[in-house]
Chains A and B, each alone.
Chain A
Amino acid sequence: MSTSLSIKDLQVSIDDKLILKGLNLEVKPGEVHAIMGPNGSGKSTTAYALAGHPAYEVEGGEVWMDGVNLLELSPDERAQMGLFLCFQYPTAIPGISMANFLRTSYNAVKGEEGEDGKKKPIPIAEFRKKLLEKMDLLKMDKSFARRYLNEGFSGGEKKRAEILQMTLLEPKVAILDETDSGLDIDALRIVSEGVNSMLSSERAFIVITHYQRILDYIKPDYVHIMYDGQIILSGGPELALRLEEEGYDNIVKSITQNGNGGN
């Protein structure tokens, strides 16, 4: 079976400080992986490094997506290949309307190549219809389309807008970085339903979270525990429940005592 994403011994530093210290993860199409881990363990660093943030220096290791060396691609090329990151803290960009941004992004990722090799933009009316459909699904007010990108959005609204982008771009691999934090109970359900509606045998999800709650909605196939820049333990959904009961400290202790690092 082919892999969606294959991460081998990935080492990443920020400002010369090594954060990821040999990360290994195999993700296959149709799978849902949850990554849990204490604050500062390197979860967001993993997400940023995969998406190609220029501040995150790859010191070693490999990342392959559909047989392509992801680390050689610029962030826009990675997105065009079908990688999508739901940001933990989405950036606001004043003066650019959501609708304009979404259409530009949509054309860049989904636009079909014409005979001249350039991507053909989707007709505005057609895009508008699609956008309104997706907004409706996520119960977002139409007025968001006219607002400036993430500007003045509440924490939860930002997260919803991230999911909106994901549903439009239909990625092959989606990384959700704490999409559940900041969402109220109804919003968590709506967003999770949005994600679940996208589950397919061709698409993989990496769900980064601190809480079991979102995993009640989005059922993971695998749960990984990240600690100090590595995945130190992997298991099935039951691992998240065990974590909830025992806490990181005990699990980390039991692993280090057994001398059982990595997965």
Chain B
Amino acid sequence: MAATVDVNLDDYKYGFSVPENYAFKAEKGLSERIVKQISEMKNEPGWMTDFRLRGYKHFLERPMPQWGGQGMLNTINFDDIYYYIKPVGADKAFESWDDVPEDIKNTFDRLGIPEAEQKFLAGVGAQYESEVIYHSIIKDLESKGVIFLDMDASLREHPEIVKEYFGTVIPPEDNKFAALNTSVWSGGSFIYVPPGVHIDLPLQAYFRINAQNMGQFERTLIIVDEGAYVHYVEGCTAPTYSTDSLHSAVVEIIVKENGRCRYSTIQNWSHNVYNLVTKRAQAYKNATMEWVDGNLGSKLTMKYPAVWLMEDGAHGEVLSIAFAGKGQVQDAGGKIVHAAPNTSSVITSKSISKGGGRTTYRGLIKVAPNATNSKSNVLCDALILDDQSASDTFPYIEIENNNVSIGHEASVSKVSEEQLFYLMSRGIEEDTASNMIVSGFIEPIVKELPMEYALEMNRLIEMEMEGSVG
């Protein structure tokens, strides 16, 4: 059945849901039995089952972080969440949209994914609940040895590479939510780009939650070999429900000598989703890693994309945009670890809060004793649109040698009356004028995105601006 039911749409365009139609839905709550059940259903090798259990053990032991959005974190009821839901027909990811079950295909049609794929993408993965339902890459790249698969398929088809890298960048014990992800992960992408291969068009993954009280725990691993390049883009949405959902992903990236990886996120979760994601990359000799992180929507986001600069000359960059409206907390930023000499990094964060929303920049720059002649620059700007909204900055800096250059600049501003008046004195209405000021504010980051995503980003910000007025 393909009829769609709109649930409490308000201003969030992606808040629709379709009737549940699942091959398997684990009972609510988390237990060792469920962890084993997931692994069994996926026919995983023993080492992966053990790995999951290791994650589960640590998840139980690890206390909840008592910082960031701890007030909201403490209200998550882990027993009230479905940890694994397999849609009907999701035994493997299809390579043609025609094979995808109709109700799911309709959902992705409404989200514009197949259309975008035809227009400007080199490959697409689409995840629905716990499973990747569609995955495809242009043939030309396949013949060059590029691997772009869903994570479960890559474990079946390339077990040796997965085993070599899985959990090496972010071990199960890294933090409570990485541990949770390790225990119940499902779906996500695996990318391998062979030496020297330059993928011109972006690869995109789209994550969709449909069920109520759903927990989505995708796992992504990207390996960019020497001198190779890839731009990976992820988008995500969910229906608006009155109960909460949980999204807790782990993304591990390895960029080898002279390689470059750009990972762009346009997160647009409905306002009932906890978004607690661990993202970390390792950049080797003269390699470049760039995170472009657009955080819109969600109830609480805690996300600090990290780059470990492992070898001489590596460069890391985090560009982060956050928008917090009514009832939302965006606790975002970036982490850079300079672990080798002559490494450089830049963190640029722009946050906007409105209608009582709260944004926090939380960042860490760490320079190891051997990382001489390293450079880092942090710039964080907050724009506060009204008196109910707020913004904080927590820039942590740990430097263990003297021969480094670290710059840090922070600003907090309100939309200035003078700017607003200037635009209005040119006939521009107040709402349009404040939208223009906001889009001007994030322009330095948005201009880094491919045009299609830049337009999307501006459109989403505009929608949030309208949505949080009422």
Contact = CB atoms under 8 A, between A and B. Distances in A.
Genuine A/B complex? yes
A107 to B, nearest CB: 9
Interface stretch (B35-43, B67-75, B217-225, B433-441): B433-441
Interface residues on A, range: 20 to 34
Interface string A10-54: 000000000000000000000000000000000000000001111
B423 interface: yes
A108 B436 CA distance: 14
Contacts of B429: 76, 108
Nearest to A51: B425
A56 to B, nearest CB: 10
Nearest to B443: A95
A35 to B, nearest CB: 19
Interface in B405-430: 416-419, 421-430
A145 interface: no
B189 to A, nearest CB: 32
A126 to B, nearest CB: 18
Contact of B428 (A53, A55, A95, A104): A104
A101 interface: yes
A76 B428 CA distance: 5
Contact of A91 (B422, B428, B441, B442): B422
A6 interface: no
B440 A93 contact: yes
B422 A93 contact: yes
Contacts of A91: 416, 418-419, 421-422
Interface stretch (A79-87, A181-189, A201-209, A254-262): A79-87
B439 to A, nearest CB: 7
Given A93-B437, A95-B439, A96-B443, A79 B426 contact: yes
Contact of A54 (B417, B437, B439): B417
Contacts of B430: 74, 76
B444 interface: yes
A79 B418 CA distance: 16
A148 B437 CA distance: 12
Contacts of A76: 424-430, 433
A165 interface: yes
Interface string A75-115: 11011100001010011011110000100110011000000
A101 B433 CA distance: 10
Contact of A93 (B424, B425, B427, B436): B436
A63 interface: no
A214 to B, nearest CB: 22
B241 to A, nearest CB: 35
Given A54-B417, A104-B436, A94 B443 contact: yes
Identify which of B416, B429, B437 gathers the most chain A CB atoms within 10 Å of its CB. B429
B432 interface: yes
Identify which of A87, A93, A108, A109 gathers the most chain B CB atoms within 10 Å of its CB. A93
B426 A105 contact: yes
Contacts of B441: 94-95
Nearest to B439: A95
A259 to B, nearest CB: 39
Contacts of B439: 95-96
A108 B428 contact: yes
Nearest to A89: B418
B424 A90 contact: no
Contacts of A108: 426-429, 432
Contacts of B418: 91
Given A93-B419, A104-B432, A75 B425 contact: yes
B55 to A, nearest CB: 42
A121 B110 CA distance: 28
B436 A109 contact: no
B421 A105 contact: no
A224 to B, nearest CB: 23
Contacts of B424: 52, 74-76, 79
B243 to A, nearest CB: 38
Contacts of A78: 425
Identify which of B423, B427, B440, B442 gathers the most chain A CB atoms within 10 Å of its CB. B427
A149 B417 CA distance: 16
Contact of B427 (A53, A79, A94): A79
Given A53-B421, A165-B426, A95 B432 contact: no
B440 A109 contact: no
A90 B425 CA distance: 11
Contacts of B433: 76
Given A104-B432, A148-B440, A169 B426 contact: yes
Nearest to B432: A104
B382 to A, nearest CB: 15
A105 B428 contact: yes
A184 B416 CA distance: 30
B440 A94 contact: yes
Contact of A79 (B419, B425, B432, B436): B425
A87 B422 CA distance: 9
B462 to A, nearest CB: 13
A93 B437 CA distance: 7
A96 B428 contact: no
B175 to A, nearest CB: 35
A182 to B, nearest CB: 18
Identify which of A74, A95, A104, A108 gathers the most chain B CB atoms within 10 Å of its CB. A95
Nearest to A151: B440
B234 to A, nearest CB: 25
Interface string A97-140: 00001001100110000000000000000000000000000000
Identify which of A51, A52, A76 gathers the most chain B CB atoms within 10 Å of its CB. A76
B200 to A, nearest CB: 25
B421 A95 contact: no
A90 B428 CA distance: 16
B443 A105 contact: no
B465 to A, nearest CB: 15
Nearest to B447: A95
A149 B428 CA distance: 14
19 contacts: A51-B421, A52-B424, A53-B421, A74-B430, A75-B425, A76-B424, A76-B433, A78-B425, A79-B424, A87-B422, A87-B425, A91-B416, A93-B419, A95-B439, A95-B443, A96-B437, A105-B423, A109-B426, A148-B440
7 residue pairs, one from A and one from B, having the closest CB atoms: A95-B440, A95-B443, A79-B427, A108-B427, A109-B427, A105-B426, A75-B424
Interface of B: 416-419, 421-430, 432-433, 436-437, 439-444
